């Protein structure tokens, strides 16, 4: 780990209370960033923030007005990690419009709302790093996760649009696309699918295993750093070769 790479920078990590988000928060804080964890899960998020010497912001990211209100008076962020997300496992015809809206609110609308809230300060400062956590499902599709894949595909398009709009301000926008990673959300999915789903996920990778949270966090730290200043509008798959050739 590179020490103090983010010294003097503020980073906002949405959905940072647990799973991939918690790993990202820990990585950035460990490299000197002043991290703000924004999550609705106070029980998990506040103790983590205290352990990291970070700030916890209890926030319903699906409430656009609340997001704007909570972030309007925050000092400028140099780094935004749009990580918050949720998944649904069902064939598309077995899902309902209410379920679509709930998923889109977290996976897409929250990304738009948080980005809009922090972007003007980045533009004024002439510097920023937007990093969006999507999924290889955005590029490959997902049997049993069509709306999830669609929402993450929209994040890819949004990120590339932000890259085009904001390069003139010294702001980069990139996507990290994980494959199957050992997280609490994945464990919940395996309750229904069991060993068969687990074997399918492992078999979809070239390296023959699930990913680790720290591997995703390392990729995020790279694209959020000055070392990646010439990288924007890109999608970095961290999926053990799952998206090979895409």
Enzyme catalytic residues: 148
The rounded distance, in Å, linking the Cα atoms of 133 and 67 is 19
Beta strands in the chain (DSSP E): 10-14, 34-39, 55-58, 79-82, 128-133, 171-178, 235-238
Q: Classify burial at 35, counting beta carbons within 10 Å of its beta carbon; exposed 0-12, middle 13-18, buried 19 or more.
A: buried
Beta bridge mates, 80: 12, 130
Query: Is residue 2 a contact partner of residue 24, using CB atoms and an 8 Å limit?
Result: no
Beta bridge partners of 79: 11, 129
DSSP letters for 200-221: HHHHHSSSSS-B-HHHHHHHHH
Q: How far apart are CA 233 and CA 174, in angstroms?
A: 5
Residue indicated by tokens 């003007």: 120
């Amino acid at each position: 780990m590179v020490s103090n790479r983010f010294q003097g920078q503020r980073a906002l990590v949405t959905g940072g209370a647990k799973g991939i988000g918690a790993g990202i928060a820990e990585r950035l804080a460990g490299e000197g960033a002043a991290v703000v964890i924004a999550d609705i899960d106070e029980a998990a998020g506040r103790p983590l923030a205290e352990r990291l010497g970070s700030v916890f912001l209890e926030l319903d990211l699906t409430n656009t007005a609340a997001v704007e209100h909570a972030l309007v008076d925050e000092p400028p962020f140099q780094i935004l990690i749009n990580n918050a997300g949720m998944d649904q496992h069902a064939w598309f015809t077995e899902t309902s419009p209410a379920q679509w809206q709930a998923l889109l609110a977290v996976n897409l609308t929250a990304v738009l709302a948080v980005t809009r809230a922090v972007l003007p300060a980045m533009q004024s400062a002439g510097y920023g790093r937007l990093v969006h956590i999507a999924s290889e499902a955005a590029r490959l599709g997902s049997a049993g996760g069509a709306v999830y894949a669609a929402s993450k595909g929209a994040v890819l398009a949004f990120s590339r649009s932000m890259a085009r709009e904001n390069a003139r301000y010294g702001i980069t926008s990139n996507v990290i696309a994980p494959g199957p990673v050992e997280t609490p959300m994945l464990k919940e999915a395996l309750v229904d699918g069991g060993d068969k789903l687990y074997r399918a996920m492992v078999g979809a990778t070239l390296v023959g295993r699930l990913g680790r949270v720290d591997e995703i966090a390392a990729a995020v730290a790279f694209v959020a750093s000055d070392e990646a200043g010439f990288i924007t509008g890109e999608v970095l798959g961290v999926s053990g070769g799952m998206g090979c050739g895409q």
